[in-house]
Structure 1
Amino acid sequence: MTPHGPSPTRIASLGALAAALLLTACDARPAGEPVVRTELGEPVESVSSQSDQAALDEAAAAELALAQGNGPCQSVTFEGVPLTHCIADPEQHRIRASLAPSSGANFGTIEGWAAGRNESDIAFVMNGGMYDDNLKAMGYFVQDSDRLVELNRADGSGNFFLKPNGVFFGSNDRWRILDTETFLRTIGDRPQFGTQSGPMLVIGGDLHPDIQDNGPSKAIRNGVGIDASGKAHFVISDAPLSFGQLARFFRDELNATNALFLDGNISSLWNPATGRMDSRRVGPLLVVETK
């Protein structure tokens, strides 16, 4: 059963809080154009966002979005590109890895995976890494503490092998992203979930050194980043964008200390709150469940 949202008075209070925060933000924006978040209620005059403001009003905006029935995902625009930004909060969510079905009706899709599942348990699902011809993960992959694929340290062509690549992993309420070599050196215990992909987009607050500011390759892309508070930010573009644009969004707008590219062209999202169900061919999945 869907819980009742906040009262109109609560929503109005949140709106007032967001307006107050807009007035108090004063620091200069880092590189990158302003984010313009989709208005969920009455249209308001567009105001340039700043990183300090984004950090302060994120919780209020997320709660307001939830009240309006959009779940943990919001529509945003960055450097002229529409994106969908979904937040997983360790206090409200748990994350696990899964695989799209390799046979049957709707095989290789989130829709095929979702068949027969309890929708009320799902916050959102996003594709979670690159796969081979059998829809199996190309790199390290852990599902329910069972390691299905070993860490891949090979060299090769393609995005996965643009070093440093990395691993998104976690257990219980702690989620992390590390480059592959650091993961190998420092992580001894097997996590409850893990997926390897590449390239890293943000490494210790810096952009991947080989990613151009705005290269010629543009595609539907998605990635995941972790901020200083431990929240996981999942981002999928709703129009083609460059690696540089996606990386800057994680660094400049979300203040992600580490971020990992997940895949391109096949990038897909299921958001039960809005009914969005992308139908592209996928393999590994990252499932965000409500507690």
Structure 2
Amino acid sequence: MIRALTILGAALWAAQASAVTCEKVTHEDLRYTVCEVDATAADLRLFLNGEDGEVLGHFSSVNETLEPEGKRLAFAMNAGMYHDDRSPVGHYVEDGQEQMRVIPNPGPGNFGLLPNGVFCIRDGRADVFETLDFVDQAPTCRFATQSGPMLVIDGGLHPRFLPDSTSRYIRNGVGTSADGTRTVFAISEDYVTFHEFGSLFRDVLNTPNALFLDGNISRMYDRAGNRSDLGFSLGPIVGVVEDMPAN
């Protein structure tokens, strides 16, 4: 715990020249990679389909679509649950266009383990909302993805999380600060329970609201760290976009 806080205090919460910084963190003897994004400065986007309507599905495909803009990914991660055809299970907005409505009711699987939530990206900030709060507030999101369950809700763990759970997977999620300026993504490098993963966001990353993005299929891209996890095609992808260096 002390080691994790030391790492974060020295590397994540200090003023950074880059809009995204990734670090290794250990909490309760479990390993994670944590990437903090400055939501006031980063070009944070969601990606699903290319111009041809086909699912992008891979970090390399996202980079190919960005290349004509003179852009590339600095960081990326899978960003919410999807059906077999890679379409989003819940609410999805890309560049201001809603592609899937909000699903407010309970259902099967982790997505329906209420309360779930919505990750909303707006100009200069990003926020995790509990779904019913999102419906009530109706923020205008440039990008949004719904997933579940919530990991942290107003500073408390999801009420259904069990400290003695035996369900362990590689998991990834996102948390945000109360003022929307800090967006913190994390992926476990060890198999973790929901309770352990939520505790990371609550106790170490200090995000009052955090959302589970997915488990088992979780993957991450970090250009600076020379990491690009491979696997089968993904649904929604969240990424920080940066300019390509001049030749």
TM category (shorter chain) comes to: 0.7 to 0.9
Identity percentage of aligned residues: 35
User: Would you say the 8 A contact 1:227–1:254 is kept in 2?
Assistant: no
Kept after mapping to 1: 8 A contact 2:92/2:100: yes
* AA of the residue aligned to 2:99: L
Alignment of 1:16-165 (within 5 A): 34=1, 36=3, 49=5, 54=8, 58-60=12-14, 63=16, 72-99=21-48, 108-115=57-64, 117-118=66-67, 121-165=72-116
Match of 2:155 in 1: 205
TM norm structure 1: 0.74
With over 3 angstroms needed to count, the CA separation of the structure-2 counterparts of 1:85 and 1:111, relative to structure 1, is same
Unaligned 5+ segments in structure 1 are 1-33, 38-48
Q: Is the 8 A contact 2:48 2:56 kept in 1?
A: no
Relative contact order higher in (CA < 8 Å, ≥ 6 apart): 2
Cα distance, 1:135 vs structure 2: 0.4
Q: Kindly tell me: are residues 132 and 106 of structure 1, through their superposed partners in 2, closer, same or farther at Cα, counting changes over 3 Å?
A: closer
In structure 2, what residue type is equivalent to 1:85?
V
Q: TM-score, normalised by structure 2?
A: 0.86
The Cα offsets for residues 173-221 of structure 1, whole Å up to 9 and x where unpaired, read as 121111111111111x531000000000000001111111241100000
Q: Secondary structure at the match of 2:13?
A: helix
Alignment partner of 2:123 out of 172, 178, 194: 172
* 1:107, distance to aligned residue in structure 2 (A): 6.0
Deviation at 1:239, TM superposition (A): 1.7
Structure richer in helix, relative to its length: 1
Structure 1 stretches (4+) deviating beyond 2 angstroms?
Answer: 53-60, 103-123
Q: Are residue 268 (structure 1) and residue 222 (structure 2) matched?
A: no
CA deviation map 1:1-28 (0-9, x unaligned): xxxxxxxxxxxxxxxxxxxxxxxxxxxx
Quote the Cα distance in structure 2 between the aligned partners of 1:191 and 1:127: 19
| Cα drift, residue 222 of structure 1 | 0.3
1:226 to 155, 167, 176: 176
- Two-structure CA RMSD over aligned residues (Å): 2.8
Superposition deviation, residue 122 in structure 1? 2.4
Residue 280 of structure 1 and its aligned partner are, at CA, apart by 2.6
The separation in 1 between residues aligned to 2:54 and 2:241, in whole angstroms, is 24
Preserved CA contact (<8 Å) 1:129 1:137: yes
1:288 corresponds to:
240
Give the structure 2 partner of residue 253 of structure 1.
204
Normalized per residue, the structure richer in strand is 2
Q: 2:229 aligns with which of 278, 285, 291?
A: 278
